[in-house]
Amino acid sequence: MAKTKKARRLDELAAQIKVCTRCPLWESRNEAVPGDGKYTSEVMIIAEAPGKEEDESGKPFVGSAGRFLNHVLEGTGLDRTDFFITNTVKCRPPKNRTPKKLEVDTCTSNYLFEQIELVNPRLVMLLGTVAAKTVLGVKSVNEARGRVIERDGRKFLVGYHPAVRFYREDLGEKVKEDFALLKREIKRLAK
């Protein structure tokens, strides 16, 4: 079947991201990670930046975070291929440091915002402060988590990234709550 214009543009963006040198993060990456999943998905998940395993594989949400997501989705009738999953910046910052403003601004203005428009999801889960701040302008995860924020005709949820559990044990319960809310809102979309 012929690809739609939107799908062709998403392919084009992914190809550009793979060879992008627009901000300094390209110098230390192994693989840029454009994101993957269903181009017409109703649900989009946006995290901060690729981690080590993502940088090595070129795929988002692999390793333990990916297994956690699969676990969360049990019983929803969905799996990760039903979503579009990506990051705010597409290249791994050295030693997983927080991406700088210039890196975030460059990457999102060239790629993320257009990806959101093209996929056009009804529900967007933002994981971590960088994603929440960039897309919704909120100051922190805590300020926005635990509720549904409606904006521009979409629903947004803010939560902690599952990986946070490995260095902040106290946030483990909050991660579970955030993903329980995601699961509930996914079920509501189906009604």
Length of the chain: 191
Among 85, 91, 132, 157, contact with ligand SF4 (rule: CB under 6 A): 91
Task: Using only the alpha carbons of the chain, give its radius of gyration.
Answer: 16
Among 10, 13, 20, 141, contact with ligand SF4 (rule: CB under 6 A): 20
Among 73, 78, 85, 89, contact with ligand SF4 (rule: CB under 6 A): 89
Distances (CA, A) of 186 to 2, 33, 83, 105, 148: 29, 25, 11, 29, 12
Q: Specify the pairing of strand 84-87 against strand 149-151.
A: unpaired
Under rule CB under 6 A, residue 26 binds ligand SF4? yes
Under rule CB under 6 A, residue 33 binds ligand SF4? no
Question: Taking CB under 6 A as the criterion, which residues in 122-141 touch ligand SF4?
Answer: none
Q: Which residue is associated with the tokens 């963006």?
A: 13
| Residue closer to ligand SF4, measured from CB, 72 or 89 | 89
**Residue 30 buriedness (CB in 10 A; 0-12 / 13-18 / 19+):** middle
Residues 48-87, mask of contacts with ligand SF4 (x by CB under 6 A): ----------------------------------------
Under rule CB under 6 A, residue 6 binds ligand SF4? no
Under rule CB under 6 A, residue 175 binds ligand SF4? no
Counting other chains too, the contacts that 54-59 makes at CB distance below 8 Å and 24 or more residues apart are: 54/87, 54/92, 55/29, 55/30, 55/31, 55/91, 55/92, 56/30, 56/31, 57/31, 58/18, 58/31, 58/32, 58/33, 59/33
Under rule CB under 6 A, residue 22 binds ligand SF4? yes
- Under DSSP, the state recorded for 3 is P
Q: Specify the pairing of strand 84-87 against strand 36-37.
A: antiparallel
Q: How many residues bind ligand SF4 (CB under 6 A)?
A: 15
Interface stretch with ligand SF4, choices 14-22, 65-73, 130-138, 140-148 (CB under 6 A): 14-22
| Residue closer to ligand SF4, measured from CB, 91 or 164 | 91
| Residues found near ligand SF4 in the complex (CB under 6 A) | 17, 20-23, 25-26, 32, 89-91, 103, 106-107, 110
